[in-house]
Amino acid sequence: MTVLRNGVDAERFRPLPMAECRRSLGLPQGGRVLVSVGFLVPRKGHSLLLRALALIPAAERPFTVIAGDGPEEGALRSLAADLGLAEQVRLLGAVEHDALAAVYSSADLSVLASSREGWPNVLLESMACGTPVVATAVHGSPEVVADESVGLLVEEQSAEALAGALQAALARGFDRERVRRYALGMSWRETSAGLERVFQEVLRRGPNGRRGAP
């Protein structure tokens, strides 16, 4: 058995000029920007992210963009207001897949605070754009973020733990080119090459499954 993981389209998801992306999205040009991309449902942890942001001192708190739509939109807007974050959080609604590279590229950091995940492509998409990540250490996320040079994992699903990880990540000087190179190792090109190797091995083994069989 050979396991081949999902990949990322490294042509579609590539670094774009941060200032231009922020301008096109109407985001602040100065200061730190954080993005969270995902359907607005409880398991994606957007409410956990908002509670974590509220624990970060106002002077250090990044402007936060949440891209996605879903049934939790109203509740998230209310929570942001209740936490005093209404002016520092923007819900973009649904974003076309082709436009997501600009969202990732606008940010200093991308966050995925899910309670469960499979193989989260949003992390790969972000890293392919050169944007480091912070993610809860659930299911496939630790396999995607296997190097601290590209992002941080949060073992405990609490606002306090997530706030600490966000502050640590924002204080760290990530090399965005290195983040991009890391993601290229998980591109669809690499996955396709792996599939080709499987096919070549099957052909070498022949119809009886033995290596070198005619």
- Res 213: pLDDT: 44
Average pLDDT over residues 104-129: 94
Q: Give 203 or 22, the one with higher predicted confidence.
A: 22
Could you give the CA distance from residue 17 to residue 15 in angstroms, rounded to a whole number?
7
| pLDDT above 90: residue 178 | yes
pTM (predicted TM-score): 0.86
Structural domains of the chain, with CATH:
18-205 (3.40.50.2000)
| pLDDT above 90: residue 139 | no
Average pLDDT over residues 141-156: 94
State the CB neighbour count (10 A cutoff) for residue 4: 13
The two structure tokens encoding residue 151:
């992002």
Average pLDDT over all residues of the chain: 91
* DSSP letters for 5-35: ---B-TTTS----HHHHHHHHT--SSS-EEE
Q: Give 166 or 191, the one with higher predicted confidence.
A: 166
Closest CA to 174 of 46, 15, 10, 55: 15
| pLDDT above 70: residue 102 | yes
Beta strands in 43-198 (DSSP E): 63-67, 89-93, 109-112, 133-136, 151-154
pLDDT band at 95 (very low <50, low <70, confident <90, very high): very high
Average pLDDT over residues 69-86: 97
Q: The tokens 């920007």 sit on which residue?
A: 33
pLDDT band at 211 (very low <50, low <70, confident <90, very high): low
148, HSE (Cβ side, Cα atoms, 13 Å): 6
Average pLDDT over residues 156-164: 97
The two structure tokens encoding residue 195:
């599939």
